[in-house]
Chains A and B, each alone.
Chain A
Protein backbone atom coordinates (compact mmCIF):
# COMPACT_ATOMS: atom_id res chain seq x y z
CA UNK A 1 0.00 0.00 0.00
CA UNK A 2 1.31 3.42 -0.82
CA UNK A 3 1.93 5.86 2.01
CA UNK A 4 -1.06 8.15 2.59
CA UNK A 5 -0.45 11.80 1.90
CA UNK A 6 -0.94 14.53 4.44
CA UNK A 7 -1.24 18.28 4.38
CA UNK A 8 1.79 19.98 5.92
CA UNK A 9 2.26 23.59 6.85
CA UNK A 10 5.44 25.55 6.23
CA UNK A 11 5.00 28.30 8.76
CA UNK A 12 7.86 30.41 7.44
CA UNK A 13 6.04 30.82 4.13
CA UNK A 14 2.54 31.79 5.24
CA UNK A 15 1.86 35.47 4.60
CA UNK A 16 -1.65 35.40 6.04
CA UNK A 17 -3.48 36.10 2.75
CA UNK A 18 -6.40 33.75 3.57
CA UNK A 19 -6.54 32.43 0.00
CA UNK A 20 -6.72 28.87 1.34
CA UNK A 21 -9.79 29.69 3.42
CA UNK A 22 -11.62 31.03 0.41
CA UNK A 23 -10.62 28.07 -1.76
CA UNK A 24 -11.81 25.74 0.99
CA UNK A 25 -15.19 27.46 1.33
CA UNK A 26 -15.73 27.38 -2.40
CA UNK A 27 -14.84 23.70 -2.63
CA UNK A 28 -17.35 23.02 0.13
CA UNK A 29 -20.10 25.10 -1.43
CA UNK A 30 -22.96 23.75 -3.50
CA UNK A 31 -21.91 25.55 -6.67
CA UNK A 32 -18.14 25.18 -6.22
CA UNK A 33 -17.87 28.59 -7.81
CA UNK A 34 -16.67 31.67 -5.92
CA UNK A 35 -19.27 34.09 -7.23
CA UNK A 36 -22.23 31.85 -6.52
CA UNK A 37 -20.77 30.51 -3.29
CA UNK A 38 -20.79 33.99 -1.76
CA UNK A 39 -24.57 34.16 -1.85
CA UNK A 40 -25.36 30.57 -0.88
CA UNK A 41 -27.48 29.90 2.21
CA UNK A 42 -26.34 28.54 4.59
CA UNK A 43 -23.00 30.16 3.80
CA UNK A 44 -20.34 27.61 2.79
CA UNK A 45 -17.81 27.08 5.56
CA UNK A 46 -14.05 26.91 5.40
CA UNK A 47 -12.31 24.12 7.30
CA UNK A 48 -8.83 25.61 7.26
CA UNK A 49 -8.23 28.58 9.53
CA UNK A 50 -5.51 31.19 9.34
CA UNK A 51 -4.69 32.29 12.85
CA UNK A 52 -2.63 35.22 13.94
CA UNK A 53 -0.05 34.94 16.70
CA UNK A 54 1.42 38.11 18.15
CA UNK A 55 3.61 39.89 17.35
CA UNK A 56 3.09 39.05 13.68
CA UNK A 57 2.94 35.43 12.76
CA UNK A 58 0.32 33.67 10.64
CA UNK A 59 -0.53 30.07 11.18
CA UNK A 60 -2.78 27.99 8.94
CA UNK A 61 -4.49 25.36 11.10
CA UNK A 62 -6.51 22.37 9.96
CA UNK A 63 -7.52 18.88 10.97
CA UNK A 64 -4.48 16.61 11.31
CA UNK A 65 -6.49 13.41 10.82
CA UNK A 66 -4.74 12.18 13.95
CA UNK A 67 -3.52 8.64 14.14
CA UNK A 68 -5.45 7.96 17.33
CA UNK A 69 -8.14 10.55 16.50
CA UNK A 70 -9.56 11.56 19.89
CA UNK A 71 -12.65 12.98 18.18
CA UNK A 72 -13.52 9.62 16.62
CA UNK A 73 -13.31 7.73 19.90
CA UNK A 74 -15.22 10.42 21.77
CA UNK A 75 -18.14 10.83 19.36
CA UNK A 76 -21.29 9.60 21.08
CA UNK A 77 -23.14 8.77 17.87
CA UNK A 78 -20.54 6.94 15.79
CA UNK A 79 -20.54 9.75 13.21
CA UNK A 80 -16.77 9.99 12.95
CA UNK A 81 -14.77 7.33 11.17
CA UNK A 82 -11.57 6.82 9.23
CA UNK A 83 -11.62 6.11 5.51
CA UNK A 84 -9.34 3.61 3.84
CA UNK A 85 -7.14 6.52 2.80
CA UNK A 86 -6.66 7.43 6.46
CA UNK A 87 -8.88 10.49 6.33
CA UNK A 88 -11.05 11.13 9.39
CA UNK A 89 -14.54 12.08 8.24
CA UNK A 90 -17.73 13.25 9.95
CA UNK A 91 -20.95 11.76 8.65
CA UNK A 92 -23.49 14.59 8.79
CA UNK A 93 -26.45 12.23 8.73
CA UNK A 94 -25.31 10.61 11.95
CA UNK A 95 -24.04 13.75 13.69
CA UNK A 96 -26.48 15.10 16.26
CA UNK A 97 -24.55 18.24 17.20
CA UNK A 98 -23.59 17.30 20.74
CA UNK A 99 -20.19 18.98 20.24
CA UNK A 100 -18.25 16.34 22.12
CA UNK A 101 -15.73 16.27 19.28
CA UNK A 102 -15.27 20.04 19.58
CA UNK A 103 -14.53 19.53 23.26
CA UNK A 104 -11.83 16.96 22.68
CA UNK A 105 -10.00 18.07 19.52
CA UNK A 106 -6.74 19.54 20.80
CA UNK A 107 -6.29 21.57 17.60
CA UNK A 108 -9.62 23.37 17.74
CA UNK A 109 -10.38 22.63 14.10
CA UNK A 110 -13.92 21.27 14.22
CA UNK A 111 -16.48 23.81 13.08
CA UNK A 112 -20.20 23.91 13.81
CA UNK A 113 -23.01 24.49 11.34
CA UNK A 114 -25.32 26.33 13.69
CA UNK A 115 -28.28 26.20 11.29
CA UNK A 116 -28.23 22.46 10.84
CA UNK A 117 -26.52 21.53 14.13
CA UNK A 118 -23.83 19.50 12.45
CA UNK A 119 -20.11 19.37 13.06
CA UNK A 120 -17.76 19.75 10.09
CA UNK A 121 -14.05 19.58 9.45
CA UNK A 122 -11.45 19.13 6.75
CA UNK A 123 -12.30 16.18 4.52
CA UNK A 124 -9.15 16.46 2.38
CA UNK A 125 -11.36 17.27 -0.62
CA UNK A 126 -12.41 13.77 -1.69
CA UNK A 127 -13.25 14.98 -5.24
CA UNK A 128 -9.85 16.53 -5.91
CA UNK A 129 -6.40 15.15 -6.54
CA UNK A 130 -4.85 17.89 -4.43
CA UNK A 131 -6.86 19.55 -1.64
CA UNK A 132 -8.19 22.98 -2.60
CA UNK A 133 -6.28 24.85 0.10
CA UNK A 134 -2.95 23.37 -0.97
CA UNK A 135 -3.67 24.03 -4.60
CA UNK A 136 -4.59 27.64 -3.97
CA UNK A 137 -1.76 28.74 -1.70
CA UNK A 138 0.31 31.31 -3.62
CA UNK A 139 3.42 30.84 -1.50
CA UNK A 140 3.20 27.07 -1.19
CA UNK A 141 3.02 27.28 2.56
CA UNK A 142 0.71 24.27 2.39
CA UNK A 143 2.06 21.09 0.88
CA UNK A 144 0.44 17.75 0.22
CA UNK A 145 2.90 14.91 0.56
CA UNK A 146 3.61 11.69 2.37
CA UNK A 147 5.14 12.01 5.82
CA UNK A 148 8.35 10.52 4.49
CA UNK A 149 8.51 12.84 1.54
CA UNK A 150 8.02 15.83 3.73
CA UNK A 151 10.21 14.95 6.65
CA UNK A 152 13.53 15.60 4.96
CA UNK A 153 13.82 19.34 5.07
CA UNK A 154 11.13 21.18 6.92
CA UNK A 155 9.83 18.65 9.37
CA UNK A 156 10.21 20.79 12.44
CA UNK A 157 7.78 23.27 11.00
CA UNK A 158 4.95 20.82 10.64
CA UNK A 159 2.23 21.61 13.11
CA UNK A 160 1.52 17.99 13.87
CA UNK A 161 4.99 17.21 15.14
CA UNK A 162 4.81 20.06 17.58
CA UNK A 163 1.80 18.83 19.42
CA UNK A 164 2.44 15.13 19.17
CA UNK A 165 5.77 15.86 20.81
CA UNK A 166 3.80 16.95 23.84
CA UNK A 167 2.30 13.53 24.15
CA UNK A 168 -1.21 13.76 22.88
Chain B
Protein backbone atom coordinates (compact mmCIF):
# COMPACT_ATOMS: atom_id res chain seq x y z
CA UNK B 1 0.00 0.00 0.00
CA UNK B 2 1.02 3.56 -0.48
CA UNK B 3 3.51 4.72 2.12
CA UNK B 4 2.79 8.36 1.68
CA UNK B 5 -0.50 10.01 1.03
CA UNK B 6 -0.83 10.54 -2.70
CA UNK B 7 -1.93 13.82 -4.19
CA UNK B 8 -4.16 13.23 -7.16
CA UNK B 9 -4.86 16.28 -9.24
CA UNK B 10 -7.45 16.34 -12.01
CA UNK B 11 -7.98 19.18 -14.47
CA UNK B 12 -11.57 19.26 -15.69
CA UNK B 13 -14.64 18.33 -13.60
CA UNK B 14 -16.85 16.63 -16.15
CA UNK B 15 -17.38 13.05 -17.35
CA UNK B 16 -13.74 11.99 -17.55
CA UNK B 17 -12.50 13.96 -14.55
CA UNK B 18 -15.30 12.98 -12.19
CA UNK B 19 -15.31 9.32 -13.28
CA UNK B 20 -11.57 9.24 -12.60
CA UNK B 21 -12.06 10.87 -9.20
CA UNK B 22 -14.65 8.23 -8.25
CA UNK B 23 -12.41 5.39 -9.43
CA UNK B 24 -9.48 6.76 -7.43
CA UNK B 25 -11.62 7.19 -4.31
CA UNK B 26 -12.78 3.58 -4.55
CA UNK B 27 -9.23 2.25 -4.53
CA UNK B 28 -7.38 4.77 -2.39
CA UNK B 29 -9.26 6.20 0.55
CA UNK B 30 -6.22 8.00 1.94
CA UNK B 31 -4.91 10.15 -0.89
CA UNK B 32 -6.24 13.62 -1.65
CA UNK B 33 -8.35 14.01 -4.78
CA UNK B 34 -8.62 17.55 -6.11
CA UNK B 35 -10.56 18.40 -9.25
CA UNK B 36 -10.07 21.80 -10.86
CA UNK B 37 -12.71 23.34 -13.08
CA UNK B 38 -12.69 26.65 -14.88
CA UNK B 39 -16.47 26.72 -14.87
CA UNK B 40 -18.56 28.62 -12.30
CA UNK B 41 -20.95 25.73 -11.71
CA UNK B 42 -20.60 22.41 -9.96
CA UNK B 43 -20.26 19.41 -12.32
CA UNK B 44 -23.29 18.52 -14.40
CA UNK B 45 -24.31 16.13 -17.14
CA UNK B 46 -23.17 18.10 -20.16
CA UNK B 47 -25.39 16.29 -22.72
CA UNK B 48 -28.37 17.51 -20.71
CA UNK B 49 -27.84 21.23 -21.26
CA UNK B 50 -30.26 21.39 -24.21
CA UNK B 51 -33.01 20.65 -21.67
CA UNK B 52 -32.06 23.80 -19.79
CA UNK B 53 -32.49 25.77 -23.02
CA UNK B 54 -35.90 24.26 -23.66
CA UNK B 55 -36.87 24.85 -20.05
CA UNK B 56 -37.71 21.20 -19.47
CA UNK B 57 -35.09 20.87 -16.72
CA UNK B 58 -33.62 23.19 -14.17
CA UNK B 59 -29.89 23.23 -13.59
CA UNK B 60 -30.39 21.55 -10.22
CA UNK B 61 -31.90 18.56 -12.05
CA UNK B 62 -28.89 17.92 -14.24
CA UNK B 63 -26.18 18.19 -11.60
CA UNK B 64 -23.80 15.28 -11.48
CA UNK B 65 -22.79 14.66 -7.89
CA UNK B 66 -25.12 12.29 -6.09
CA UNK B 67 -26.51 10.83 -9.33
CA UNK B 68 -25.75 7.56 -11.10
CA UNK B 69 -22.26 6.33 -10.26
CA UNK B 70 -21.09 9.74 -8.98
CA UNK B 71 -20.99 9.94 -5.19
CA UNK B 72 -18.55 12.80 -4.91
CA UNK B 73 -17.62 11.74 -1.38
CA UNK B 74 -14.35 13.25 -0.22
CA UNK B 75 -13.59 14.69 -3.64
CA UNK B 76 -12.51 18.31 -3.56
CA UNK B 77 -13.99 20.10 -6.57
CA UNK B 78 -12.67 23.64 -7.01
CA UNK B 79 -14.56 25.95 -9.32
CA UNK B 80 -13.23 29.05 -11.07
CA UNK B 81 -9.83 27.42 -11.16
CA UNK B 82 -8.48 27.63 -14.65
CA UNK B 83 -5.12 25.90 -15.02
CA UNK B 84 -2.79 28.07 -17.05
CA UNK B 85 0.38 26.03 -17.17
CA UNK B 86 1.54 22.55 -16.28
CA UNK B 87 5.10 22.15 -15.08
CA UNK B 88 5.89 18.49 -15.52
CA UNK B 89 9.49 18.81 -14.32
CA UNK B 90 8.46 19.99 -10.85
CA UNK B 91 5.10 18.19 -10.95
CA UNK B 92 2.88 21.18 -10.32
CA UNK B 93 0.27 23.25 -12.10
CA UNK B 94 -0.46 26.93 -11.83
CA UNK B 95 -3.96 28.24 -11.57
CA UNK B 96 -5.30 31.56 -12.84
CA UNK B 97 -5.41 32.98 -9.30
CA UNK B 98 -1.64 32.56 -9.16
CA UNK B 99 -1.84 29.58 -6.86
CA UNK B 100 0.46 26.61 -7.56
CA UNK B 101 -0.68 23.09 -6.84
CA UNK B 102 1.67 20.12 -6.66
CA UNK B 103 0.68 16.63 -7.77
CA UNK B 104 1.91 13.07 -7.61
CA UNK B 105 -0.48 11.99 -10.37
CA UNK B 106 -2.09 14.37 -12.81
CA UNK B 107 -5.06 13.78 -15.08
CA UNK B 108 -5.77 16.04 -18.03
CA UNK B 109 -9.53 15.89 -18.55
CA UNK B 110 -10.14 19.28 -20.10
CA UNK B 111 -12.47 18.02 -22.79
CA UNK B 112 -13.02 19.88 -26.00
CA UNK B 113 -14.02 23.29 -27.25
CA UNK B 114 -16.26 24.15 -30.17
CA UNK B 115 -14.69 25.20 -33.45
CA UNK B 116 -15.55 28.64 -34.69
CA UNK B 117 -14.88 28.75 -38.40
CA UNK B 118 -12.76 31.68 -39.49
CA UNK B 119 -14.61 32.10 -42.78
CA UNK B 120 -17.78 33.41 -41.16
CA UNK B 121 -17.78 37.14 -40.47
CA UNK B 122 -19.47 38.84 -37.58
CA UNK B 123 -19.36 35.98 -35.07
CA UNK B 124 -18.66 38.32 -32.17
CA UNK B 125 -22.14 39.84 -32.33
CA UNK B 126 -24.49 39.45 -29.41
CA UNK B 127 -26.83 36.55 -30.02
CA UNK B 128 -24.23 34.28 -31.62
CA UNK B 129 -23.71 31.10 -29.61
CA UNK B 130 -21.74 27.92 -29.44
CA UNK B 131 -23.31 25.41 -27.09
CA UNK B 132 -20.83 23.74 -24.78
CA UNK B 133 -21.40 24.77 -21.17
CA UNK B 134 -24.31 25.44 -18.88
CA UNK B 135 -23.36 29.11 -19.07
CA UNK B 136 -23.86 28.94 -22.86
CA UNK B 137 -27.21 27.22 -22.34
CA UNK B 138 -28.40 29.90 -19.93
CA UNK B 139 -27.33 32.66 -22.30
CA UNK B 140 -29.16 30.96 -25.16
CA UNK B 141 -32.28 30.57 -23.06
CA UNK B 142 -32.16 34.28 -22.24
CA UNK B 143 -31.79 35.34 -25.83
CA UNK B 144 -34.56 32.93 -26.85
CA UNK B 145 -36.97 34.82 -24.62
CA UNK B 146 -37.09 37.65 -27.12
CA UNK B 147 -35.90 35.99 -30.35
CA UNK B 148 -38.42 34.73 -32.88
CA UNK B 149 -36.16 33.01 -35.37
CA UNK B 150 -32.91 31.11 -34.82
CA UNK B 151 -30.47 30.01 -37.48
CA UNK B 152 -28.31 26.98 -36.76
CA UNK B 153 -25.05 26.56 -38.65
CA UNK B 154 -23.95 22.95 -39.00
CA UNK B 155 -25.93 19.71 -39.17
CA UNK B 156 -24.23 17.66 -36.48
CA UNK B 157 -25.99 15.99 -33.60
CA UNK B 158 -25.22 18.70 -31.05
CA UNK B 159 -26.65 21.39 -33.26
CA UNK B 160 -29.74 19.30 -33.91
CA UNK B 161 -30.25 18.96 -30.17
CA UNK B 162 -29.89 22.69 -29.71
CA UNK B 163 -32.30 23.23 -32.62
CA UNK B 164 -34.89 21.02 -30.97
CA UNK B 165 -34.56 22.79 -27.68
CA UNK B 166 -35.33 26.08 -29.42
CA UNK B 167 -38.22 24.58 -31.38
CA UNK B 168 -39.68 23.38 -28.10
CA UNK B 169 -39.53 26.93 -26.82
CA UNK B 170 -41.64 27.97 -29.77
CA UNK B 171 -39.00 29.62 -31.96
CA UNK B 172 -38.80 29.18 -35.69
CA UNK B 173 -35.58 27.37 -36.44
CA UNK B 174 -33.66 27.07 -39.70
CA UNK B 175 -30.72 24.70 -39.95
CA UNK B 176 -28.16 25.49 -42.61
CA UNK B 177 -25.64 22.88 -43.72
CA UNK B 178 -22.98 22.99 -46.33
CA UNK B 179 -22.90 19.25 -46.94
CA UNK B 180 -25.75 17.73 -48.90
CA UNK B 181 -27.13 16.09 -45.77
CA UNK B 182 -27.48 16.37 -42.01
CA UNK B 183 -25.73 14.10 -39.52
CA UNK B 184 -23.12 13.29 -42.15
CA UNK B 185 -20.71 12.01 -39.52
CA UNK B 186 -23.21 9.44 -38.30
CA UNK B 187 -24.84 8.26 -41.50
CA UNK B 188 -24.80 8.58 -45.28
CA UNK B 189 -27.27 10.71 -47.25
CA UNK B 190 -29.36 7.71 -48.30
CA UNK B 191 -29.72 6.69 -44.67
CA UNK B 192 -31.32 9.90 -43.49
CA UNK B 193 -34.83 9.72 -44.97
CA UNK B 194 -36.64 8.81 -41.75
CA UNK B 195 -34.74 11.37 -39.72
CA UNK B 196 -35.40 14.11 -42.25
CA UNK B 197 -39.10 13.29 -42.23
CA UNK B 198 -39.12 13.47 -38.46
CA UNK B 199 -37.38 16.84 -38.54
CA UNK B 200 -39.85 18.19 -41.08
CA UNK B 201 -42.74 16.99 -38.99
CA UNK B 202 -41.27 18.70 -35.97
CA UNK B 203 -41.13 21.96 -37.90
CA UNK B 204 -37.40 22.35 -38.45
CA UNK B 205 -36.53 24.13 -41.68
CA UNK B 206 -33.55 22.57 -43.37
CA UNK B 207 -31.30 24.20 -45.98
CA UNK B 208 -28.66 21.86 -47.34
CA UNK B 209 -25.86 22.79 -49.69
CA UNK B 210 -25.67 26.39 -48.47
CA UNK B 211 -23.42 28.26 -46.15
CA UNK B 212 -23.37 31.51 -44.29
CA UNK B 213 -20.60 33.98 -45.03
CA UNK B 214 -21.55 36.70 -42.58
CA UNK B 215 -23.66 37.25 -39.51
CA UNK B 216 -25.44 40.60 -39.65
CA UNK B 217 -26.02 42.63 -36.52
CA UNK B 218 -26.88 46.03 -35.13
CA UNK B 219 -27.16 47.44 -31.61
CA UNK B 220 -29.76 44.81 -30.71
CA UNK B 221 -27.36 42.02 -31.64
CA UNK B 222 -27.95 39.55 -34.46
CA UNK B 223 -30.47 40.60 -37.09
CA UNK B 224 -29.77 38.07 -39.83
CA UNK B 225 -27.32 35.98 -41.81
CA UNK B 226 -25.88 36.47 -45.28
CA UNK B 227 -25.72 33.36 -47.45
CA UNK B 228 -23.03 32.44 -49.96
CA UNK B 229 -25.56 32.88 -52.77
CA UNK B 230 -26.14 36.45 -51.68
CA UNK B 231 -29.47 35.78 -50.00
CA UNK B 232 -30.31 37.04 -46.54
CA UNK B 233 -32.25 35.40 -43.76
CA UNK B 234 -33.49 37.56 -40.92
CA UNK B 235 -33.02 36.03 -37.46
CA UNK B 236 -32.30 37.11 -33.91
CA UNK B 237 -29.95 34.37 -32.87
CA UNK B 238 -27.36 32.08 -34.44
CA UNK B 239 -25.92 28.88 -33.03
CA UNK B 240 -22.70 27.54 -34.48
CA UNK B 241 -22.15 23.78 -34.39
CA UNK B 242 -19.12 23.13 -36.54
CA UNK B 243 -17.38 20.40 -34.64
CA UNK B 244 -15.06 20.39 -31.68
CA UNK B 245 -11.37 20.17 -30.98
CA UNK B 246 -9.37 19.00 -27.99
CA UNK B 247 -8.79 21.62 -25.33
CA UNK B 248 -4.98 21.48 -25.20
CA UNK B 249 -3.68 25.02 -25.72
CA UNK B 250 -2.61 25.40 -22.10
CA UNK B 251 -0.26 22.42 -22.50
CA UNK B 252 1.86 24.19 -25.11
CA UNK B 253 5.04 24.43 -23.07
CA UNK B 254 4.50 21.44 -20.83
CA UNK B 255 6.37 18.86 -22.92
CA UNK B 256 3.24 16.71 -23.00
CA UNK B 257 2.88 15.23 -26.47
CA UNK B 258 -0.12 16.55 -28.33
CA UNK B 259 -1.29 15.44 -31.76
CA UNK B 260 -4.93 16.48 -32.21
CA UNK B 261 -5.29 15.67 -28.52
CA UNK B 262 -3.12 14.38 -25.71
CA UNK B 263 -1.49 11.20 -26.98
CA UNK B 264 -1.73 8.37 -24.45
CA UNK B 265 -0.66 4.75 -24.32
CA UNK B 266 -2.92 1.77 -23.66
CA UNK B 267 -2.81 2.65 -19.97
CA UNK B 268 -4.04 6.21 -20.53
CA UNK B 269 -0.58 7.62 -19.66
CA UNK B 270 0.93 10.46 -21.70
CA UNK B 271 4.54 10.60 -22.84
CA UNK B 272 5.39 12.09 -19.44
CA UNK B 273 5.46 10.02 -16.30
CA UNK B 274 2.59 10.57 -13.86
CA UNK B 275 0.58 12.54 -16.39
CA UNK B 276 -2.56 10.85 -17.70
CA UNK B 277 -5.35 11.96 -20.00
CA UNK B 278 -8.92 10.85 -20.66
CA UNK B 279 -12.10 11.94 -22.39
CA UNK B 280 -12.56 14.34 -25.28
CA UNK B 281 -9.06 15.77 -24.79
CA UNK B 282 -7.31 12.42 -25.24
CA UNK B 283 -6.44 10.64 -28.44
CA UNK B 284 -7.69 7.09 -28.21
CA UNK B 285 -7.94 4.32 -30.77
CA UNK B 286 -10.75 2.59 -32.57
CA UNK B 287 -10.78 -1.16 -31.82
CA UNK B 288 -12.19 -1.96 -35.25
CA UNK B 289 -9.80 0.02 -37.41
CA UNK B 290 -6.96 0.46 -34.92
CA UNK B 291 -6.89 4.11 -35.98
CA UNK B 292 -6.19 6.93 -33.57
CA UNK B 293 -9.26 9.01 -32.92
CA UNK B 294 -10.64 11.77 -30.75
CA UNK B 295 -14.25 10.99 -29.97
CA UNK B 296 -16.40 13.61 -28.29
CA UNK B 297 -18.61 11.15 -26.47
CA UNK B 298 -19.80 11.24 -22.88
CA UNK B 299 -19.85 7.44 -22.74
CA UNK B 300 -16.25 7.24 -23.81
CA UNK B 301 -15.14 10.01 -21.47
CA UNK B 302 -16.74 8.29 -18.47
CA UNK B 303 -15.30 4.89 -19.34
CA UNK B 304 -11.84 6.19 -20.13
CA UNK B 305 -11.87 8.40 -17.03
CA UNK B 306 -12.57 5.42 -14.75
CA UNK B 307 -9.79 3.55 -16.46
CA UNK B 308 -7.35 6.44 -16.01
CA UNK B 309 -8.32 6.67 -12.35
CA UNK B 310 -7.38 3.05 -11.80
CA UNK B 311 -4.08 3.55 -13.58
CA UNK B 312 -3.31 6.61 -11.47
CA UNK B 313 -3.74 4.55 -8.31
CA UNK B 314 -1.31 2.05 -9.73
CA UNK B 315 -3.75 -0.63 -10.84
CA UNK B 316 -2.70 -1.07 -14.47
CA UNK B 317 -5.86 -1.16 -16.46
CA UNK B 318 -5.78 -1.22 -20.24
CA UNK B 319 -8.26 0.92 -22.10
CA UNK B 320 -10.00 -1.04 -24.81
CA UNK B 321 -10.62 1.97 -27.02
CA UNK B 322 -13.90 3.07 -28.43
CA UNK B 323 -15.64 3.33 -31.74
CA UNK B 324 -15.28 6.74 -33.34
CA UNK B 325 -19.01 6.57 -33.81
CA UNK B 326 -21.11 5.35 -30.91
CA UNK B 327 -24.23 7.42 -30.79
CA UNK B 328 -27.69 6.76 -29.54
CA UNK B 329 -30.36 9.37 -29.47
CA UNK B 330 -33.82 10.30 -30.50
CA UNK B 331 -34.53 13.18 -32.84
CA UNK B 332 -38.18 14.16 -32.72
CA UNK B 333 -39.97 10.82 -32.57
CA UNK B 334 -37.26 8.88 -34.38
CA UNK B 335 -34.77 6.94 -32.24
CA UNK B 336 -31.49 5.91 -33.78
CA UNK B 337 -28.23 4.18 -32.96
CA UNK B 338 -25.13 4.54 -35.09
CA UNK B 339 -21.99 2.63 -34.22
CA UNK B 340 -18.74 1.50 -35.75
CA UNK B 341 -18.27 1.86 -39.47
CA UNK B 342 -21.42 3.06 -41.19
CA UNK B 343 -20.02 4.92 -44.19
CA UNK B 344 -19.81 2.42 -47.00
CA UNK B 345 -19.90 4.42 -50.22
CA UNK B 346 -16.89 3.57 -52.34
CA UNK B 347 -15.79 0.73 -50.07
CA UNK B 348 -16.05 -3.02 -50.57
CA UNK B 349 -17.64 -3.71 -47.19
CA UNK B 350 -20.47 -6.18 -47.34
CA UNK B 351 -23.51 -4.04 -46.57
CA UNK B 352 -27.08 -5.10 -45.82
CA UNK B 353 -29.79 -2.49 -45.85
CA UNK B 354 -33.44 -2.94 -45.00
CA UNK B 355 -35.81 -0.02 -45.24
CA UNK B 356 -39.50 0.09 -44.36
CA UNK B 357 -41.66 3.18 -43.85
CA UNK B 358 -41.09 2.87 -40.11
CA UNK B 359 -37.60 1.50 -39.67
CA UNK B 360 -34.25 1.52 -41.35
CA UNK B 361 -31.32 -0.69 -40.69
CA UNK B 362 -27.89 -1.01 -42.16
CA UNK B 363 -25.42 -3.68 -41.15
CA UNK B 364 -21.85 -3.48 -42.31
CA UNK B 365 -19.54 -6.47 -42.47
CA UNK B 366 -15.92 -6.87 -43.49
CA UNK B 367 -15.48 -7.42 -47.26
CA UNK B 368 -15.20 -11.18 -46.70
CA UNK B 369 -18.41 -11.05 -44.67
CA UNK B 370 -17.03 -12.76 -41.59
CA UNK B 371 -17.15 -9.96 -39.07
CA UNK B 372 -19.63 -7.23 -38.21
CA UNK B 373 -17.99 -3.81 -38.14
CA UNK B 374 -20.84 -1.34 -38.02
CA UNK B 375 -24.57 -0.97 -37.48
CA UNK B 376 -27.10 1.78 -38.01
CA UNK B 377 -30.61 1.36 -36.64
CA UNK B 378 -33.29 3.97 -37.12
CA UNK B 379 -36.78 3.51 -35.73
CA UNK B 380 -36.24 0.14 -34.10
CA UNK B 381 -33.12 0.16 -31.96
CA UNK B 382 -33.96 -2.72 -29.64
CA UNK B 383 -31.08 -4.81 -28.31
CA UNK B 384 -28.53 -2.57 -30.03
CA UNK B 385 -26.05 -3.40 -27.26
CA UNK B 386 -25.70 -6.97 -28.51
CA UNK B 387 -24.53 -5.71 -31.87
CA UNK B 388 -22.07 -3.37 -30.24
CA UNK B 389 -20.70 -6.31 -28.31
CA UNK B 390 -20.24 -8.37 -31.47
CA UNK B 391 -18.46 -5.50 -33.21
CA UNK B 392 -16.22 -4.72 -30.29
CA UNK B 393 -15.24 -8.30 -29.55
CA UNK B 394 -14.62 -8.95 -33.25
CA UNK B 395 -16.72 -12.06 -32.98
CA UNK B 396 -17.03 -14.44 -35.87
CA UNK B 397 -20.60 -14.11 -37.12
CA UNK B 398 -20.82 -17.34 -39.11
CA UNK B 399 -23.71 -18.98 -37.28
CA UNK B 400 -25.69 -15.90 -36.50
CA UNK B 401 -25.28 -13.81 -39.59
CA UNK B 402 -28.83 -14.07 -40.87
CA UNK B 403 -30.12 -13.21 -37.42
CA UNK B 404 -27.89 -10.14 -37.36
CA UNK B 405 -28.98 -9.04 -40.82
CA UNK B 406 -32.64 -9.51 -39.95
CA UNK B 407 -32.31 -7.86 -36.53
CA UNK B 408 -33.46 -11.00 -34.78
CA UNK B 409 -30.44 -11.42 -32.59
CA UNK B 410 -30.88 -11.88 -28.87
CA UNK B 411 -28.70 -12.93 -26.01
CA UNK B 412 -29.75 -16.56 -26.23
CA UNK B 413 -27.54 -16.97 -29.28
CA UNK B 414 -24.45 -16.39 -27.20
CA UNK B 415 -25.26 -19.35 -25.00
CA UNK B 416 -24.80 -22.04 -27.60
Contacts and interface: CB of A to CB of B under 8 A. Distances in A.
Given A53-B416, A108-B411, A99 B385 contact: no
Contacts of A77: 45, 47-48, 62, 67
A98 B328 contact: yes
Interface string A117-130: 10000000000000
Contact of B410 (A108, A110, A117): A108
B338 to A, nearest CB: 9
Interface of A is mostly: mixed
Contacts of A103: 326-328, 337, 339, 381, 384-385, 388
A106 interface: yes
Interface in A37-67: 49, 51-53, 57-59, 61
Interface string B325-367: 0111110000101010000000000000000000000000000
A99 B68 contact: no
Most B CB within 10 A of own CB, among A75, A159, A162: A75
What bracket does the count of chain A residues touching chain B fall in?
Answer: 35 or more
Given A59-B412, A81-B67, A96 B48 contact: yes
A100 B328 contact: yes
Interface in B145-192: none
Contacts of A70: 385
A105 interface: yes
Contact of A76 (B47, B69, B412, B416): B47
A23 interface: no
Interface in A76-131: 76-82, 94, 96-100, 102-112, 117
Nearest to A74: B299
Given A72-B69, A73-B303, A166-B393, A78 B410 contact: no
A77 B64 CA distance: 8
Contacts of A78: 45, 62, 64, 67-68, 70
Contacts of A94: 61, 67
A102 B410 contact: no
B283 interface: no
B415 A59 contact: yes
A168 interface: yes
Given A104-B388, A112-B335, 14 more contacts: A53-B412, A59-B411, A69-B69, A76-B45, A76-B47, A76-B299, A77-B62, A98-B329, A99-B330, A102-B337, A103-B326, A105-B385, A109-B411, A159-B411
Interface of A: 11, 49, 51-53, 57-59, 61, 69-70, 72-82, 94, 96-100, 102-112, 117, 159, 162-163, 166-168
5 contacts: A76-B48, A102-B383, A104-B385, A106-B389, A168-B393
Report, nearest first, the 5 A-B pairs whose CB atoms are least far apart.
A78-B67, A108-B383, A59-B412, A78-B68, A51-B412
